[in-house]
Structures are given as structure tokens and as C-alpha cells.
Amino acid sequence: MKSSFGRSFSTAATILLLALTVLGASFQLLVREYLTETTISGLRSDADAIAKLAAAYSIEGSLSSREFLLNLDVASQVTDADIVICDRSGQVVLCSDALSGCEHQGLRLNQEYLQKVLSTGSDAATGVIRGLYSDRRYVVSVPINSESGSLVSGIVIVSTPTLATGQILNRISNIFLTTAVFVVLISVLAVTVFARRESKPLRDMARAANAFGHGDLDARVKVEDSSSEEMEELAVAFNNMACSLQKSEYQRQEFVANVSHELKTPMTTISGYVDGILDGTIPPERREHYLRIVSDETKRLSRLVRSMLDISQLQSEGGIPEEKKTHFDLEEAVGQVLITFEKKINDKGLQVDVDMPEHPVYTFACQDYITQVVYNLLDNAVKFCPQGGVLGIRIREGGSKTYVSVSNEGDTIPPEELSLVFDRFHKTDKSRSRNSDGWGLGLYIVKTIVCSHGENISVTSRDGKTEFTFTMPLVN
């Protein structure tokens, strides 16, 4: 499996080589076409000029005159091209290779080629002129016409070897290859440095993930200022995930420890009393009393399991499904729950302060769950309210929300405890000597239900009064 550096390097090298190959081939092709067009254009101009000169001498004098031969020699040297003049039959009469007498003189051109030049007025080609030159050449041929254009006394063939163009292309190719090698070396060095720098955060993240997987929950990825935006986002996301997993792991450990602690006492009590009944330690006349204790402890364990199942169900649903929500009167629901606490309220001689609107307050929620929320809050309020204290229930409307508050007089919750009252198995009474029938799950269930509706719950405690307030949507 290739590393990130290897993949980046291979990709960059392939793209670079492909780009240089395409660029080199395209550049060489364009240069070749340009040189060919330039050379053909120059040869055409030279051929036209020599054809006009030959036409003038053929009328006024002879093509073999000394003055024309000198002009032809000068033209050949200036243009660096070979010039051949043929008569109307295609026979070579003059050649710039040797004006006074050339081996080419007397040779005859291909008649098809001759007729082509005479009929079209000119011809430009690249190839070998058989019988004249053995090397490959650029060739331009034009007829020698009179000034009126009617009389044709022959044709002029101007050519130059393609070797010069090839040499120029080879020189350009060498320069290009040298430059390309230099660019490739620089690019390889730059890509190596860049890829290693970019892959370093990934390696750091892999080491952090490996350490985290082996139990080091404090492992984090360091975010450097030089990191790219994507790498920084990835590192932040990883650290956030690690923090969340670390918190979940601590909560899991705390949950297991708390459950073990809570189960330990009733299980020990049940086991001890049952063993005492079985081995005869507890006399027959006391067995009913201790069996009632075992029954109460069993019911407490049942309530614990039921509460944990309720929490698990709420968390697995990820929210209250819409089909479970209904429109109902929140005042009526709170009043029905309050009636169930009538005996406990009377036993403690509590004063109930009820403040609700005179009209129904409708909401859209799961009525069973909201009833459980109010029940848990009232149960806590009655439990912690002192003998003869005041228990308060208030419902008020505000905007699109309705606010339900349950308050009680009693000991003020310390500020450091307020943020923990909704945690699982948390009890403000650390010794758990009072209210030993509680599990510290009631308020956790309350918050889970309220948050599952997309609403909020808060708590305040000062001057001997504690008040819980949660919101629900108002649909009056």
C-alpha cells in the first residue's frame, strides 16, 4: 500500500512528465511548421524575383550572358539557395552549382511536374529532386513569363536543403530537454518537500489515533499554524471526536461504578435476609417482617431497571417521534399529577402555592412523558420540602413558549452542585443517609425527556428556595 507521500509524488511526477512531453512535442511541431512556412515563403519570393530577371534577359539578351550569370550567382549566395533554370521542355540550361558548366545541365525534368508548374503558376513541395539532388529539400518552382504573361520561356527551381531546419530543431530540442531535466529536478525536490510537509499532520493523526485506540484517552493532534485549512479542520474534528469519546468513556465508567454501587446495597440486603431465613438465623415470627424488607428492596431494583430502560429508549429514539405527540391541556396534566401527591402533601403539612392562567394552556408534546417530568419534579419537591413548607407550581406563557415551574422551600443547593443535579446517579446528599429510596435518576430522566422534545430545563436555588423550570411549545 502506497503512502500519502508516494501517491502525491507519483501523481505529480506523472502529470509533470505528461505535460512536458505534450509541451515539447507541440512546441517542436509548431516550430517545424513555422520554419517550413518561412523557408517556403522566402524561396517563393526568391523564385519570383529570379523568374522576372530571367524573363527580362531572355527578351533583351541571352540567359547565358555574363551579366545574368553574375546576377544569378549573387542571388544564389545571398539567398543561400540552389537555383536551377530549365527551358520550356524541362531541360536544365543553368545551375547555380556551376554557372559555366554543371553536371546537371542537359538533364530533363519529369514532364508531369513541368506541366503542373506551368498550369498552376507555381509549386511548393518538400522532398528529393531526382536527378538533381539526392538530399531532402524545400523546393519552389515558378514559370518564367514575359511581362504580358503570355510567353513562357522556361521555369525557375529554387531549393534549399531541409538539413538546416533539422539542425535548428535539434538545437531547440536539446535546449528544451536540458530545461525540462532542470525543471523536473526542481519539481521533484519541491514535491518531495511539499508532500512530506502535507503528510506530516496525517502521520501525527495516525499516531494519535493509534495511541487513543490503545487506551491513551488524552492523545490529541497538535494544530500548527502552518497547516492547511483542510488539515486544520480534520485535526479539530479528530480532537473533538476524541474529547467526546473520552467523555463517553468516563461516563461509561462512572455509570458502571454507580450502578454497581447502587445494586450492591439492596442485593446484599436481599441476600443476607434470604440466607438468614434459610439457615434459621431469623426466627419464624420475624420472617414476615424481613420478607417485606426483601420485597421493598426488590421493588426498588425493579424501579431502577425500569428507569434505565426509559432512558435507553429515549436516547435510542434521538427525539420524540411526531406520531407520539398530541395536543393537550398542560394545566390539566399538571393538576392530575398534583392530585396523586395529595396524601404525601397532607402528611407533611405542606402549603401548595398554585399560579396558573385561568384559561387552558395547550401544548404539542408526548403527554405521557410530560406527565412523568411533572411527577419527577413534584416528587423531588415534596421529598426535599421541610415539614410545613411551601410547595409552588406555576405556569406562565411567553411568546411561543409556555414555562412550567416547580419550586419548594428547603436547603439551598450549593452553586457548585447546580450544574450536576441533572447528571446520572447524582445526589446532593453525599452520605445518602436521607431519601435512600432515590437513585439519582429522576432529574436525569426529566432532562432527557425535555431535551428530546427540543426544549430546555433550568434550575435555580437561593435563599432557601429551589425552583425547576422547563419549557414546552405553546399552541393556543
Domain boundary among 266, 284, 317: 317
Please determine, for residue 217, whether its predicted confidence score (pLDDT) is greater than 80: no
Higher pLDDT, residue 266 or 425 = 266
Out of 43-52, 166-175, 348-357, give the one with best mean pLDDT: 348-357
pLDDT by residue (tens digit) across 299-321?
A: 777 766 776 676 666 666 666 77
What is the structure's pLDDT at 287? 84
Q: Rounded to an integer, what distance in angstroms lies between the CA atom of residue 141 and that of residue 120? A: 10
Q: Of 318-327, 343-352, 457-466, which range is least confident?
A: 318-327
Q: How much is the pLDDT for 10?
A: 76
- Calculate the alpha carbon distances from 364 to 59, 371, 405, 473 in Å: 115, 13, 18, 6
Nearest to 129 by CA among 154, 99, 161: 161
Do residues 72 and 57 make contact, with C-beta atoms less than 8 angstroms apart? no
Q: The C-alpha cell of 228 is what? A: 492547511
Q: Band of the pLDDT at 377, cuts 50, 70, 90?
A: very high
pLDDT of the residue at 381? 92
Q: What is the pLDDT of residue 99?
A: 63
CB 97 within 8 A of CB 76: no
Grid cell 394545566 is found at: 331
pLDDT grade for 351, boundaries at 50, 70 and 90: very high
- CB 123, CB 113: distance < 8 Å: yes
For residue 432, what pLDDT band results from cuts at 50, 70 and 90? very low
pLDDT of 383 > 80? The answer is yes
Tally of CB atoms within 10 A around 77: 10
Higher-pLDDT residue of 230 and 156 is: 156
Q: Are 352 and 338 in contact (CB under 8 A)?
A: yes
User: Does the pLDDT at position 49 exceed 60?
Assistant: yes
Instruction: Please state whether beta strands 123-128 and 136-145 pair in parallel, antiparallel, or not at all (unpaired).
Output: antiparallel
* Judgement on whether residues 82 and 156 belong to the same structural domain of the protein: yes
Q: What is the pLDDT of residue 436?
A: 46
Q: Does residue 189 sit within a domain?
A: no
Residues 337 and 451 in one domain: yes
Secondary structure, 3-state, 33-102: HHHHHHHHHHHHHHHHHHHHHHHHHHHHCCCCCHHHHHHHHHHHHHHCCEEEEEECCCEEEEECCCCCCC
Report the pLDDT value the prediction gives residue 334, as an integer from 0 to 100: 93
Residue at a domain's end among 251, 283, 317: 317
pLDDT band at 365 (very low <50, low <70, confident <90, very high): very high
Please identify, among 317, 334, 354, the residue that sits at the C-terminal boundary of a domain. 317
- For residue 413, give its domain range: 322-473
Same domain for 152 and 29, yes or no, is: yes
Domain check: are 287 and 372 in the same one?
A: no
pLDDT at position 29 is 86
134 in any annotated domain: yes
Looking at the predicted structure, is the pLDDT value of residue 187 above 60?
A: yes
Rg (CA), the chain: 52
C-alpha cell at position 112? 508531369
Q: Please indicate, yes or no, whether residues 326 and 411 belong to a single structural domain of this protein.
A: yes
Q: Cα separation of 440 and 468, whole Å?
A: 16
What mean pLDDT comes out for the span 34-48?
88
Q: CB–CB of 195/5 below 8 Å?
A: yes
Do 311 and 357 fall within a single domain? Answer: no
pLDDT(281) > 50: yes
* Residue-level pLDDT at 425: 63
Q: What is the mean pLDDT of the chain?
A: 81
The pLDDT, as a whole number, for residue 150 is: 62
Q: Is residue 214 part of a domain?
A: no
Q: From CA 405, how far away is CA 378, in angstroms rounded?
A: 10
Any domain includes 221: no
Residues 287 and 347 in one domain: no
CA dist., res. 216 & res. 246, Å (int): 9
pLDDT at residue 314, rounded to an integer: 67
26-40, 72-86, 325-339, 438-452: which has the minimum mean pLDDT? 438-452
Q: Is 373 helix (H, G, I), strand (E, B) or coil?
A: helix
What is the rounded CA–CA span in Å between residue 19 and residue 22? 5
Read off the CATH number of the domain in which 414 is found. 3.30.565.10
Average pLDDT over residues 422-450: 63
Q: Is the pLDDT of residue 385 over 80?
A: yes
Average pLDDT over residues 166-186: 84
For the chain, percent helix, then strand, then coil, each to nearest 5? 55, 20, 25
Give the pLDDT mean for 189-206: 76
Torsion of CA 354, 359, 365, 371, to 10 degrees: 30
Q: Is residue 142 part of a domain?
A: yes
pLDDT at 431 over 60: no
More confident residue, 201 or 278: 278
174 within domain boundaries: no
All 3 cell numbers of residue 377? 419534579
Instruction: Provide the whole-model pTM.
Output: 0.46
Could you tell me the pLDDT band of residue 203, with boundaries at 50, 70 and 90?
confident
Higher pLDDT, 396 or 101: 396
Mean pLDDT of 86-101: 78
In which band, very low, low, confident or very high, does the pLDDT at 265 lie, cut at 50, 70 and 90? low
Q: How far apart are CA 109 and CA 84, in angstroms?
A: 11
Answer yes or no: are the C-beta atoms of 204 and 221 closer than 8 Å: yes
292 occurs within a structural domain: yes
Is 379 a member of any domain? Answer: yes
Cα dihedral 175→177→178→180 (10° resolution): 120
Residues 246 and 137 in one domain: no
Residues contacting residue 32 through CB under 8 Å, at least 6 positions apart: 165, 169
Neighbouring residues of 314: CB distance < 8 A, sequence distance ≥ 6: 445, 448, 449, 452
> Are 428 and 311 in a shared domain?
no
What gap in Å lies between CA 351 and CA 344, rounded to an integer?
12
370-385 mean pLDDT: 89
**What CATH number does the domain containing 245 carry?**
1.10.287.130
Residue 387 pLDDT grade (very low, low, confident, very high; cuts 50, 70, 90): very high
Q: What is the DSSP letter of 209?
A: H
Better-predicted residue by pLDDT, 370 or 440: 370
Whether residue 291 is found in the same domain as residue 352: no
Handedness of CA 90, 92, 96, 97 (dihedral sign): positive
List, as one string, the DSSP characters of 292-322: HHHHHHHHHHHHHHHHHHHHHHHHHHTS--G
* Cell of residue 323, nine digits: 406520531
Cell numbers describing residue 225: 499554524
pLDDT on residue 386: 92
What pLDDT, on the 0 to 100 scale, is given for residue 151? 63
Q: What is the distance between the alpha carbons of residues 260 and 126, in angstroms, rounded to a whole number? A: 98
Quick one: 354 and 310 in the same domain?
A: no
Over 60: is that where the pLDDT of 61 sits? no
- 420/391 same-domain check: yes
The CATH number linked to 99 is: 3.30.450.20
Percent of the chain having pLDDT more than 90? Answer: 17
Q: What are phi and psi of 466, to 5 degrees?
A: -115, 135
Instruction: Specify the pLDDT at position 435.
Output: 43
- Cβ–Cβ under 8 Å, residues 406 and 377: yes
Number of structural domains (the chain) is 3
If pLDDT is split at 50, 70 and 90, which confidence band does 440 have? low
Contact, 63 vs 85, CB < 8 A? yes
